[in-house]
């Protein structure tokens, strides 16, 4: 494993502060030494990325697709060592990481397919109308072009799918933007292995040097230098509200405004309607899996359950208590995340208005940093009285908010801040009576779910992973699925241009056979 900072095709001398990865389940150091990058290395990586951009932005979709597919192949070629290292660094189980690797390589291939198909550039063509009155219409043709170098911050909770070659990197590279990854210090070894795969793929497919670099740092200096660099055009991040807003603040100190896509905290409320509880309280308690899977360390983990008091709700609580009691403790991603989980959940539990309704009693004492599942309960009145209950508790935790009636339930919904997801559990014949609540959920969240868990984010065309603030810094974009490529592009119009000098996407004969809005008509 090559652990040094990588700028373009060159691994850098071992200069900066040394740090090691930690096995969170034991607290022991893992093999391999990493070196915090220097500011001059950050600047050099960005200068090289900017230079690469001049070439890379004009590379054909076909060649970029080959690059992405080659990255996927190189990741697979790492074999078991990648999964093993990711397990050691993240505490996540084998099957989960096997699945995550599949998701990562599938994302790369999905963007390759998108490039091959080609319509993603949103070509719009208005041809000339020389005899239009009072003025002739001039030929104008528009399509998306890449914005420029992108800084990707690896996320702690998806060491592959939201990290070095994750969705952000895949989408940025597909769009034509060079990427500098700031590796997450919780999984530098996993990062190093994947970075090497990208380097190999870039070299094999003849990409310009600087299309990808990776820098390590166990502090904040390198991230800050990259976000503030004048040549940086986009920043992507998945993590905590605090971390995301720190990047937003750094970007606000720039002269040039740039997009910062920070996917931050979300409590992903689930509304339980009365009939659903009445008919299937026990079945709904199976949500325990969504609350606790992988120690609840998902952006879309349901941290807030909202219902009206009833006998059926008591049945749900009983069933949930039984299910949660049976959930094994699990190693959390980092000691810091575990400490924060215990601090936040502990603080809430200590509040007089809060009671515990479900708690795991299966704690693995042979390991440390164990996330132990717990569900609390609070009245809607108490919930509404203190903002602290709305804060995300990242981990295997959820809070049941019990309203006296529909009006109070609606008040709770009104009080919520922006969310990645909002879910409603209902019977078909009662939903029409709650149109006001449904409508509010659409305004509250990026994805509204009926009768299903919010976890398990589909990577496809229609997915929206991003919601109103503070769940993300920019609700207009998704960080998952094909539409996530839109974060990295801007439109350019060619006016009165020579046919032979237009990009292929805009040539009248449509040589790439893509969908276009051609004189107000969608066609190929």
Q: Is 135 in the site for a copy of itself (CB under 8 A)?
A: yes
Q: Is 469 in the site for a copy of itself (CB under 8 A)?
A: yes
Phi, psi of 521 (to 5 degrees): -130, 125
Q: Is 150 a catalytic residue?
A: no
Task: Give the three-class secondary structure for 476.
Answer: coil
Given a contact cutoff of 8 angstroms between Cβ atoms, the answer to whether 126 and 157 are in contact is no
| Rounded least distance, CB 521 to a copy of itself, Å | 10
- The DSSP element (H or E) to which 421 belongs, if any, is strand 419-425
Query: Which one of residues 290, 345, 483, 510 is an interface residue with a copy of itself (CB under 8 A)?
Result: 483
| Rounded least distance, CB 303 to a copy of itself, Å | 18
Query: Which one of residues 59, 76, 78, 145 is an interface residue with a copy of itself (CB under 8 A)?
Result: 145
Evaluate the omega torsion of the peptide bond into residue 134 and state whether it is cis, within 30 degrees of 0: yes
**Identity of the residue, 78 or 517, whose beta carbon is nearer to a copy of itself in the bound complex:** 517
**Identity of the residue, 365 or 496, whose beta carbon is nearer to a copy of itself in the bound complex:** 496
| Rounded least distance, CB 415 to a copy of itself, Å | 14
Q: Which of 216, 236, 163 is nearest to 194 (CA)?
A: 163
Neighbour tally for 360: CB within 10 Å: 22
**Identity of the residue, 85 or 233, whose beta carbon is nearer to a copy of itself in the bound complex:** 233
| Rounded least distance, CB 458 to a copy of itself, Å | 6
| Rounded least distance, CB 101 to a copy of itself, Å | 13
Which candidate in 89, 263, 392, 505 is catalytic?
A: 263
The single residue listed with the structure tokens 């109103």 is: 468
Annotate each residue in 146-175 with x if it binds a copy of itself (CB under 8 A) or - if it does not, as one string: -x----------------------------
Q: Give the up-direction half-sphere exposure of residue 167: CA atoms within 13 A in the CB hemisphere.
A: 26
Choose one: 18-26, 120-128, 185-193, 307-315; the region binding a copy of itself (CB under 8 A). 120-128
C-alpha to C-alpha distance for 146 and 174, rounded to whole angstroms: 9
Residues numbered 32 to 91 that lie near a copy of itself (CB under 8 A) are: 54, 57-58
Enumerate the β-bridge partners of residue 377: 355, 400
DSSP string, 60-99: -HHHHHHHHHHHHHHHHHH-HHHHHHHHHHH---HHHHHH
Which candidate in 89, 150, 196, 299 is catalytic?
A: 299
Q: Count residues contacting a copy of itself (CB under 8 A)?
A: 68
Task: Give the three-class secondary structure for 494.
Answer: strand
**Identity of the residue, 5 or 236, whose beta carbon is nearer to a copy of itself in the bound complex:** 236
DSSP string, 150-217: EEEEPPSS-TTTTSTTSHHHHHHHHHT--EEEE--TTSHHHHHHHHHHHHHHHHHTTPPTTSEEEE--
Residues numbered 428 to 467 that lie near a copy of itself (CB under 8 A) are: 428, 431-432, 438-439, 442-443, 445-452, 456, 458, 460-464, 466
What's the sign of the alpha-carbon dihedral 56, 58, 61, 63?
A: negative
**Identity of the residue, 24 or 468, whose beta carbon is nearer to a copy of itself in the bound complex:** 468
Q: Is 95 in the site for a copy of itself (CB under 8 A)?
A: no
Q: Is 299 a catalytic residue?
A: yes
- Burial label for 254, CB within 10 Å (0-12, 13-18, 19+), is middle
- The DSSP element (H or E) to which 276 belongs, if any, is helix 274-284
Given a contact cutoff of 8 angstroms between Cβ atoms, the answer to whether 4 and 171 are in contact is no
C-alpha to C-alpha distance for 245 and 470, rounded to whole angstroms: 9
Given a contact cutoff of 8 angstroms between Cβ atoms, the answer to whether 238 and 213 are in contact is no
Query: Which one of residues 71, 125, 181, 285 is an interface residue with a copy of itself (CB under 8 A)?
Result: 125
| Rounded least distance, CB 124 to a copy of itself, Å | 4
Q: Is 490 in the site for a copy of itself (CB under 8 A)?
A: yes
DSSP string, 337-365: HHHHHHHHHHHHHTSTT-EEEEE--B--T
Query: Which one of residues 142, 182, 187, 317 is an interface residue with a copy of itself (CB under 8 A)?
Result: 142
Query: Which one of residues 342, 353, 415, 475 is an interface residue with a copy of itself (CB under 8 A)?
Result: 475
**Identity of the residue, 225 or 437, whose beta carbon is nearer to a copy of itself in the bound complex:** 437
| Rounded least distance, CB 321 to a copy of itself, Å | 27
Q: Is 359 in the site for a copy of itself (CB under 8 A)?
A: no
- The residues annotated with a catalytic role in the active site are 263, 299
Site residues, a copy of itself (CB under 8 A): 54, 57-58, 119, 124-126, 135, 137-138, 140-142, 145, 147, 248, 252, 256-257, 259-260, 428, 431-432, 438-439, 442-443, 445-452, 456, 458, 460-464, 466, 468-470, 473-476, 478, 483, 489-498, 501, 515, 517, 520, 522
């Amino acid at each position: 494993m090559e652990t040094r900072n990588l700028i373009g095709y060159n691994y850098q001398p071992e200069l900066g502060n040394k740090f090691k990865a930690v096995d969170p389940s034991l607290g022991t150091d893992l093999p391999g030494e990493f070196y915090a990058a220097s500011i001059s290395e950050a600047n050099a990586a960005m200068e090289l990325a900017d230079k690469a951009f001049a070439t890379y932005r004009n590379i054909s979709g076909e060649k970029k697709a080959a690059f992405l597919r080659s990255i996927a192949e190189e990741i697979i070629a790492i074999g078991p060592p990648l999964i093993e290292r990711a397990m050691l660094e993240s505490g996540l189980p084998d099957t989960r990481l096997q699945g995550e690797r599949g998701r990562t390589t599938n994302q790369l291939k999905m963007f390759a397919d998108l490039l091959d198909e080609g319509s993603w550039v949103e070509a719009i063509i208005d041809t000339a109308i020389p005899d239009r009155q009072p003025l002739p219409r001039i030929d104008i043709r528009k399509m998306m072009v890449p914005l420029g170098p992108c800084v990707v911050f690896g996320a702690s909770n998806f060491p592959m799918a939201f990290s070095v070659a994750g969705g952000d990197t895949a989408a940025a590279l597909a769009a034509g933007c060079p990427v500098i990854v700031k590796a997450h210090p919780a999984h530098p070894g996993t990062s190093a292995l994947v970075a090497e795969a990208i380097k190999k793929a870039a070299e094999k497919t003849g990409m310009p040097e600087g299309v990808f670099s990776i820098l390590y740092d166990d502090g904040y200096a390198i991230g800050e230098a990259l976000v503030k660099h004048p040549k940086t055009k986009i920043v992507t991040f998945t993590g905590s509200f605090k971390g995301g807003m720190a990047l937003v603040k750094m970007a606000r100190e720039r002269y040039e405004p740039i997009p910062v896509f920070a996917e931050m905290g979300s409590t992903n409320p689930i509304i339980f309607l009365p009939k659903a509880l009445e008919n299937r309280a026990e079945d709904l308690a199976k949500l325990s899996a969504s609350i606790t899977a992988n120690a609840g360390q998902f952006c879309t983990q349901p941290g807030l359950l909202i219902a009206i008091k009833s006998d059926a709700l008591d049945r749900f609580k009983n069933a949930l208590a039984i299910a949660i009691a049976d959930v094994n403790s699990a190693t959390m991603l980092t000691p810091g995340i575990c400490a924060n989980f215990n601090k936040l959940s502990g603080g809430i539990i200590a509040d007089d208005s809060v009671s515990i309704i479900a708690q795991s009693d299966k704690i693995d004492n042979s390991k440390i940093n164990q996330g132990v599942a717990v569900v609390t309960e609070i009245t809607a009145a108490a919930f509404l009285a203190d903002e602290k209950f709305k804060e995300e508790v990242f981990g295997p935790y959820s809070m049941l908010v019990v309203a006296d009636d529909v009006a109070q339930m609606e008040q709770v919904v009104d009080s919520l801040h922006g969310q990645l997801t909002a879910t409603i559990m209902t019977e078909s014949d009662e939903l029409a009576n709650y149109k006001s609540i449904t409508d509010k959920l659409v305004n509250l969240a990026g994805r509204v779910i009926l009768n299903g868990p919010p976890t398990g984010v589909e990577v496809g065309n229609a997915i929206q992973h991003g919601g109103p603030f503070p769940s993300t810094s920019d609700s207009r974009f998704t960080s998952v699925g094909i539409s996530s490529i839109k974060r990295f592009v801007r439109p350019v119009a060619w006016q009165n241009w020579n046919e032979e000098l237009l990009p292929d996407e805009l040539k009248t004969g449509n040589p790439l056979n893509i969908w276009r809005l051609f004189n107000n008509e969608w066609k190929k």
